[in-house]
Structures are given as C-alpha cells and as structure tokens.
Amino acid sequence: MFFFAWIFGSFSDCNLFDCNPVECFFKGVAGACGISVLCSLMRVHLFIQTCSEHERTPGGQLRDNWRKAVQFWCLTALLSLVGQRVSSLIVLEFSLRAVSAWASAGLDSGGKGPQLLLIQCQFSLGCSVSCFLAFLHQGAPHSSLGLLLAAAIGWALASCCHGLWNHVARLYPLHSTERNCGKCITLLTSRRNILVSLQKVVVMVFALATLAATATMYDHFLSQKDAPKFWIPLTLCYTMLVVYNQEKQQQQPGAEAMWNSVVLRLGALSVLMLTVGDWSDVLHVLIMFLGEAVCLLPCQDLLQAALKEEDEKVSKYEKSDRQTTNSYTTKTSEGS
C-alpha cells in the first residue's frame, strides 16, 4: 500500500506534459516538419544517385499521400507530448552517438557513411527542433505567436521539399535526359552536394539544440549541490555503452542493428530516468521510442536504398585498395 501511495504521489507532484497545449502543438508541428524535410531530401538524393549509377528508374519508392499524412500527424502528436527535459536528454544522447559514429568512421575509411545515421536521427531531429524552440521562446511575452511563425515556416519548407520529391520521383528520369526542366537540370549538376548540404544543416540544428539542451539539463538536473557527483559516473557508463553499441552495430545488418540500438536505448534511458527523474520522464521516454517506431517503420525502402549505396561504396573502396596493392606489388617485383 505504501508503494502504490508513493507512485500516485509521484504522479501528482510531476507534470506529465507541458503547461500550454497550444505551444506544445506548434512545437510538435515544427519538429514533424523538420523530419519531413529530412526524409524528402534523403529520398531525392538516393533516387538521383540510383538513376545516375544504374541508368534506370528505381521502383517502389513512392508512398501514398495518406500514409505520409498519418505519419506526419502522429509525429506531431508524439513530439507535442514529449517534455522539454526528456527532449534535451534525447538531443544530448544522439549527439554523443553521432560523435562516436564519426570517430569510428574516421578510424575505418571503408566503413559505413553518414546516410544511416541521418535515417536514424529522424525523431531526435524533431526533438532538437522542439527543444531549441522551447528554449528560445522560454519566458517570451508572445511565445505562442513566435511558435506559430516557426511552425508556419517549417510547414512551408516541408511542403516545398515534399513537392520537390514528388516532381523528382515522377519526372526526373525523363527530364534529366531531355534537359528541359530547370529543377532537374540543377539537381543533375549538383547531385553530389545534396547530401553534404543536408549533413551541414542537420549538424547545425543539433549544435544549436545541444546548447539549449545543456542549459535545460543544468537547470533541471545539475543545479543541485551533489548532482555532478552522481551524473559524472552515469555519463561515463552511458558513453561506454554507446561506444560498445556502435562497435556492435558495425558487425550487424543495417535494419537489425538499428532496432537493437533502439531497444538498448529504451532500456538505458528508462533506467536513467527511474534513477534521476520522475514517472513523467519515464512515460516521455516510452513516447519517444514510439516516435522512433513511427519514423523508422515507414522508411524501410529508404533504409534499403541507403544500405545498397553504402555496400557499393565499400565494394568500390575495397576494389581500389586491391588495385593499389597489386600495382605496388608489380612495381616492386619489376624493380627487383
């Protein structure tokens, strides 16, 4: 009985969701628009790369508009429900994973590229947008109007990128050969810069969100006197877990490694919030992984295309490495 009384007391003392539902909705719309922009541009990049390398039209890439609409509004609802504390933790956690992936890719030149990381960062990107907007408008006298403007700008960008993807998926194979469309000609000449530009924008968003998340974490968790003594070992343990998971992910297929990473993060963040947070934070972590599923399940075709392109890059790298080794061996034998 004392245990259930403690549980109900914890729920009554904590705020399950943020106070203003209108502002939460606008932040959710802005975050879902960021995810939509990322997915649309990733599809454009992979479609153009496939057309350029194989000189044929890839099949099975388009999805029904109603599915995209359902996914968008589900992400809006889930991002509206996730609180600022857990959003900040998600941003810092993914930034740590991205740094670990970048370090492992630097050590292994033939390893997997950044495309899989971009696919995995969808919900974390939405949390980054909502976390930064919440920090930026915190205490503002007209925060609702500012968030409405941010949501409107995000909606306009998402609509433009979605329209670009629909145009490319239907007309790019024809327009790229006949060269009678300005959009397709521009994409044809700058197809190698799409992924680089997208990476730079995503890194900038996460950098800004990391600053906001650090300030939020300090205000909510680290401002107490003995908090650093408790958080330092937790951070070190979680860093070791991320590095171990990153090494294990390199040895598994893309989809299997991705879902294993999701389950592992669910357990680790849940234990962390049970230790230093409250019951609302645990609920927000569960909502977060529901959002991960909503992001990743409709993107299986995108994942397969990215894995195929990465495998082709790895095979080209290994082939060039073997050719370099053989030429060096031939020159050495001729010289001797």
Q: Per the structure block, which two tokens stand in for 264?
A: 């592992």
Query: What six digits make up the tokens of 308?
Result: 């195929």
Ranges 142-151, 230-239, 265-274, 324-333, most confident: 142-151
Residue 125 has pLDDT above 70, yes or no: yes
Backbone angle region of 71, left / alpha / beta, with phi > 0 → left and psi within -120 to 50 → alpha? alpha
Q: What's the pLDDT score for residue 124?
A: 92
User: Is the pLDDT reported for residue 106 higher than 60?
Assistant: no
Q: What is the spatial distance between Cα 84 and Cα 284, in angstroms, rounded to a whole number?
A: 10
Task: Report pLDDT for 206.
Answer: 94
Q: Give residue 150's Cα distance to chain centre.
A: 20
CA dihedral 22, 27, 28, 32 (to 10 degrees): 140
| CA dist., res. 166 & res. 179, Å (int) | 18
Tokens of 36: 């939509």
pLDDT bucket at 108, cuts 50 / 70 / 90? very low
Please name the residues in contact with 81: beta carbons below 8 A apart, sequence gap of 6 or more: 17, 24, 28, 284, 287
C-beta atoms surrounding 108 within 10 Å: 10
Q: How confident is the model at residue 170 (pLDDT cuts 50, 70, 90)?
A: confident
Q: How confident is the model at residue 78 (pLDDT cuts 50, 70, 90)?
A: very high
Contact 274, 80 (CB under 8 A): no
Average pLDDT over every residue of 83-104: 83
Measured N-to-C along each axis, helices 300-335 and 254-276 cross at an angle, to the nearest 10 degrees, of 120
Give 6's pLDDT tier (boundaries 50, 70, 90). very low
- What does the angle CA 101 – CA 288 – CA 307 come to, to the nearest 5 degrees? 40
Least trusted range by pLDDT, from 46-50, 134-138, 191-195, 252-256: 252-256
Q: How confident is the model at residue 30 (pLDDT cuts 50, 70, 90)?
A: very high
End-to-end CA distance of the chain: 87
For the cut 90, the answer to whether the pLDDT of residue 334 exceeds it is: no
**The predicted structure's pLDDT at residue 229:** 62
Cα separation, 167 vs 197, in Å, equals 20
Half-sphere exposure of 211 (CA within 13 A, CB side): 8
The answer to whether the CB of 84 falls within 8 A of the CB of 48 is: no
What pLDDT, on the 0 to 100 scale, is given for residue 66? 64
Domain coordinates of the chain in residue numbers?
A: 19-55+63-105+115-311
According to DSSP, residue 252 is labeled S
d(CA 86, CA 91): 9
Indicate the residue type of 155: W
99 close to 243: Cβ distance less than 8 angstroms: no
Q: pLDDT tens digits for 282-312?
A: 888 889 889 988 988 888 878 887 777 766 6
Q: Work out the number of other CB atoms within 10 angstroms of the CB of residue 92.
A: 20
Among residues of the chain, what percentage have pLDDT more than 90? 22
Q: To 10 degrees, what angle do helices 279-296 and 2-13 make?
A: 70
Q: State yes or no: pLDDT of 4 exceeds 90.
A: no
- The pLDDT value recorded for residue 276 is 72
